[in-house]
């Protein structure tokens, strides 16, 4: 069975890639992921804030005037939270490249233009095979139009593209008003791949202690539907390679992602919950599924259920919305 695929110009032995997560903070865990069959690994992100902390600038900007609104300051991170730092990140990347034979994809997380982008060159020099740019921006200003936010993303990518020759993937949120158009702009600005989607972690409120509390819920397979739909809509319409990074938990999820048009499917929550050996189990189940359904390769499967190749494109369009609502039967009437 030929499980090989192509992503960001990289030839991968299969479509299963551990996404950026705490798992990649440990070299031995990454070795175990490779032994289990992972085709590549995305390192945990280096945040622009970590670089600013290294310059002793962020802590002051976060704490000035904080005594005026003690409860609300809890929405902002303490500088001590950023414990990695750019130098440690680069050392970790070099060690990973020494220990692993599979591609290692670096990850930068930031949104503001500035000197922190120079670390993309450092990541390239440290031996990364590609770079994932994770742009997390929450526009809270009611006077800020969406077009300005989109321009911000594109210009940041263009600046990064000028810095390095590495293949670049952009990890997107689903909250653009015209996502396919934004995808085309990013590809035009230098992205060789798009990762769908960035999961936003919303703070909860501790009503007793009057604090905002960080909250993390691991994904489920149900969350796969959103990136699945958008990859299926954009496959063969936007000239890039796609990765799905939300909701991949088992071989069936991988099959769905490939059918929609993804080149790779990225897994994190499943590995955090059930261990790195899940990679080997999922790959074995993927081979079994392909064999039973008489597929000879992953390439034969990829994009087969996308809008471009499906005989039922309305399943992904507005008609599906109407059909789902019309077919729902309340539980009280099912008996």
Share of the chain above pLDDT 90, in %: 68
* Residue 73 pLDDT greater than 50, yes or no: no
User: d(Cα 204, Cα 136) in Å, to the nearest integer?
Assistant: 19
Structure tokens at 322: 């109407």
pTM of the model as a whole: 0.87
Buried residues in 198-235 as b, exposed as e (16+ CB within 10 A): bbeeeeeeeeeeebbeeeeeebebebbeebbbbbbbbb
Q: Which pLDDT belongs to residue 319? A: 57
> Tokens 């490939």 correspond to what residue?
258
User: d(Cα 63, Cα 76) in Å, to the nearest integer?
Assistant: 9
The mean per-residue pLDDT over the stretch 96-115 comes to 94
Give the pLDDT band of residue 115 (cuts 50, 70, 90).
confident
Average confidence score pLDDT of the chain = 88
Q: Which pLDDT belongs to residue 76? A: 46
* Residue 300 pLDDT greater than 70, yes or no: yes
* Residue 22 pLDDT greater than 50, yes or no: yes
* Residue 237 pLDDT greater than 70, yes or no: yes
Q: Enumerate helices (H) and strands (E) in the chain, giving the number of each.
A: 13, 13
Residue 136 vs residue 122, higher pLDDT = 122
Q: Let me know: does 14 contact 283? Beta carbons within 8 Å.
A: yes
* Residue 117 pLDDT greater than 50, yes or no: yes
* Residue 80 pLDDT greater than 80, yes or no: no
Q: Is the backbone of residue 8 left (phi > 0), alpha (psi -120 to 50) or beta?
A: left
User: d(Cα 263, Cα 5) in Å, to the nearest integer?
Assistant: 6
Q: Which pLDDT belongs to residue 334? A: 59
Q: For residue 196, report the phi and psi dihedrals to the nearest 5 degrees.
A: -120, 120
CB atoms within 10 A of CB 325: 8
Q: Which pLDDT belongs to residue 82? A: 47
Every domain of the chain and the residues it spans: 5-308
User: d(Cα 37, Cα 35) in Å, to the nearest integer?
Assistant: 5
Give the pLDDT band of residue 79 (cuts 50, 70, 90).
very low
Give the pLDDT band of residue 312 (cuts 50, 70, 90).
low
User: d(Cα 9, Cα 234) in Å, to the nearest integer?
Assistant: 19
**Residue 199 gets which letter from DSSP?**
P
Q: Which pLDDT belongs to residue 70? A: 46
Give the pLDDT band of residue 247 (cuts 50, 70, 90).
very high
The mean per-residue pLDDT over the stretch 54-61 comes to 53
CATH number for the segment(s) 5-308:
3.20.20.70
Q: Which pLDDT belongs to residue 313? A: 62
Q: Which pLDDT belongs to residue 67? A: 47
């Amino acid at each position: 069975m030929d499980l090989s695929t192509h992503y960001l110009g990289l030839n991968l032995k299969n479509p299963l890639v551990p996404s950026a997560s705490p798992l990649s903070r440990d070299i031995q865990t990454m070795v175990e992921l490779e032994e289990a069959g992972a085709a590549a690994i995305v390192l945990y992100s280096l945040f622009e804030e970590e670089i600013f902390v290294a310059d002793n600038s962020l802590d002051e900007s976060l704490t000035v005037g904080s005594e005026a609104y003690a409860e609300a300051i809890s929405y902002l991170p303490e500088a001590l939270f950023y414990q990695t730092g750019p130098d440690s990140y680069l050392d970790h990347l070099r060690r990973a490249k020494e220990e692993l034979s599979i591609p290692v994809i670096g990850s930068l997380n930031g949104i503001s233009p500035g000197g922190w982008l120079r670390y993309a060159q450092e990541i390239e020099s440290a031996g990364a095979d590609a770079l994932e740019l994770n742009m997390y921006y929450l526009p809270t200003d009611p006077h800020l139009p969406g077009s300005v936010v989109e321009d911000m993303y594109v210009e940041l990518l263009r600046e990064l593209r000028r810095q390095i020759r590495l293949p670049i993937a952009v990890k997107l949120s689903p909250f653009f008003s015209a996502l396919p158009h934004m995808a085309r702009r990013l590809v035009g600005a230098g992205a060789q791949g798009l990762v769908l989607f960035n999961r936003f972690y919303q703070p909860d409120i501790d009503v007793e202690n009057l604090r905002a509390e960080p909250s993390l819920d691991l994904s489920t397979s149900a969350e796969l539907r959103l990136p699945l739909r958008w990859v299926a809509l954009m496959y063969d319409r936007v000239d890039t390679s796609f990765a799905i990074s939300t909701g991949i938990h088992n071989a069936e999820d991988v099959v769905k992602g490939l059918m929609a048009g993804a080149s790779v499917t990225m897994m994190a929550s499943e590995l955090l919950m059930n261990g790195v050996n899940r990679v080997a189990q999922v790959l074995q189940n993927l081979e079994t599924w392909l064999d039973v359904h008489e597929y000879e390769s992953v390439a034969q499967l990829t994009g087969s259920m996308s809008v471009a190749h499906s005989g039922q494109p309305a399943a992904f369009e507005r008609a599906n919305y109407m059909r789902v609502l019309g077919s729902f039967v309340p539980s009280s009437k099912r008996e």
